Amino acid sequence: MARTTISDARKKDTREKIELGGLIVKAGLHYEKRALLLGALIDLSERLKTNVQERSRLLAIGAEAFGKADE
């Protein structure tokens, strides 16, 4: 039983990482250096903690890119 739980958790983690990598590709950033991407994500994380308008603006851009203007 424990083995199945660990296996399921690993599969879920792997799937999430693949999906997140797909977002980098969808954004057209797959040729950028990893350090730049990580720096951008860290900076974004900090900005989103304090800026509700920026969060809403970026959410709208992302929703449009996914074809879901209502998310």
Q: What is the pLDDT of residues 9-34, one digit of tens each?
A: 899 999 999 999 999 999 999 999 99
Interatomic CA distance for residues 32 and 29, integer angstroms? 5
User: Whole-prediction pTM value?
Assistant: 0.74
How many CB atoms lie under 10 A from the CB of residue 71?
10
Task: Please report, in angstroms and rounded to a whole number, the separation of the first and last CA atoms in the chain.
Answer: 38
Asked if residue 3 has pLDDT above 90, the reply is no
Residue 71 confidence class, pLDDT cut points 50, 70, 90: very low
Mean pLDDT of the residues in the chain: 90
Distances (CA, A) of 12 to 1, 18, 22, 24, 63: 17, 10, 15, 19, 23
Asked if residue 69 has pLDDT above 90, the reply is no
pLDDT, residue 6, reads 82
